[in-house]
Structure 1
């Protein structure tokens, strides 16, 4: 009995240590990201992802770090390198958690970054995929605030591009804000971003 208790305590201690390392690593990666150290954040998320083989979150954030850094990037070589790295991360996350609406949104964001960089080159091939990804994510999780907002934001961008009225999408932006207000992430590291962007978008919606 004593041996069983000792083994049990050892296992609990081992799990607690692993969790502490995971928490510390994730917090450090987010700190790097907040300081604008994209490469350091990406590399740390990658190391955590390698260690956490059943956890999609480190790979998800590795993808997000590289994708966000690509918006506004003028150097095509750097942009493609970042987005290819983001795609590698997304592929890892998808393998761990298939049909995950958060990951579907992240995949759509990668495509959007390409389209934003060069609509003439990438718009024809990727726009349809973005629409499909958002439709799939919405079907899986119709009340996920990031899904609702990101889809509405994409639809608004498309409407602007074709000179159409963007007002019809304002209601969805407002709905996403309500969803953000009531949304509770599963853990401190689960996706919880988007409300600030939604509120900023709502202020200028339809103008």
Structure 2
């Protein structure tokens, strides 16, 4: 299975100073660190925010996301295990607060995808079915979530390519995902909104 890469797109949040809560200020600071390319520092800050706001799932979600995405670049198994174990604990915490959340499900599937990308021969059989199952469940919960559509379709496309099947139908599905990104409105400025850059890139790749 070929490596799946997502381009993280974080938005600069325009809160007025007076309107910001302590939680929002902390989250904004963490997003700023991401924009500056300081993903490890951002992940650590998100984790501290999570400890200070134990009823909020977003800090753990973003901490896990950063640890998962950085995992794609790790080539040492022991280091990757440590990285993804940390991300798993963060996802477990987020899920305990917000169960059956498609956004968190996408991250869980991505965590397993890192292992498949690391060693497809070893982990493809172990996690491949789990990834497909998670995306199917997330899709059943929210068919209009653009990140669910993007990531589910990219996984399905990768699987089709791996088994030598036609990938054209998946290229068309990316157009549907893009339409959902155009109309999607996050629950708040802090909620996930990433993925549009990635689906645009995949559409362009399909046209080559």
Return the TM-score normalized by structure 2: 0.88
Does residue 139 of structure 1 match 2:140? yes
Pairing of 1:27-38 with structure 2 (within 5 A)? 27-38=28-39
Alpha-carbon shift at residue 155 of structure 1 (Å): 0.5
Alpha-carbon shift at residue 133 of structure 1 (Å): 0.2
CA distance in 2, matches of 1:35, 1:191: 19
Tell me the alpha carbon deviations over residues 73-116 of structure 1, each in whole angstroms, 9 at most, x when there is no partner.
22222222111111010000000000000001010000001101
Does residue 162 of structure 1 match 2:163? yes
The farther-off stretch of 168-177 and 31-40 is 31-40
Does residue 106 of structure 1 match 2:94? no
Equivalences, count: 192
Preserved contact between residue 165 and residue 206 of structure 1 (Cα < 8 Å): no
Does residue 176 of structure 1 match 2:196? no
The farther-off stretch of 45-54 and 126-135 is 45-54
Question: Which residue in the other structure is 2:128 paired with?
Answer: 127
Q: Structure 2 regions of 5+ residues with no counterpart?
A: 1-16
CA distance in 2, matches of 1:194, 1:137: 16
Distance change >3 Å, CA 76–CA 206, structure 1 → 2: farther
Tell me the alpha carbon deviations over residues 104-147 of structure 1, each in whole angstroms, 9 at most, x when there is no partner.
10100000011011111111110000000000000000111000
Q: Cα RMSD between the aligned structures?
A: 1.7
- From the two aligned structures, give the one with the greater helix fraction: 1
SS in 2 for 1:204: helix
CA distance in 2, matches of 1:137, 1:68: 20
Alpha-carbon shift at residue 18 of structure 1 (Å): 11
Larger relative contact order (Cα-Cα within 8 Å, sequence gap ≥ 6): 2
Tell me the alpha carbon deviations over residues 137-162 of structure 1, each in whole angstroms, 9 at most, x when there is no partner.
00000111000111000011111112
Question: Which residue in the other structure is 2:27 paired with?
Answer: 26
Larger radius of gyration: 1
Preserved contact between residue 167 and residue 206 of structure 1 (Cα < 8 Å): no
Preserved contact between residue 166 and residue 206 of structure 1 (Cα < 8 Å): no
CA distance in 2, matches of 1:35, 1:156: 32
Preserved contact between residue 108 and residue 134 of structure 1 (Cα < 8 Å): yes
Question: Which residue in the other structure is 2:6 paired with?
Answer: none
SS in 2 for 1:98: coil
Alpha-carbon shift at residue 17 of structure 1 (Å): 8.9
Does residue 74 of structure 1 match 2:101? no
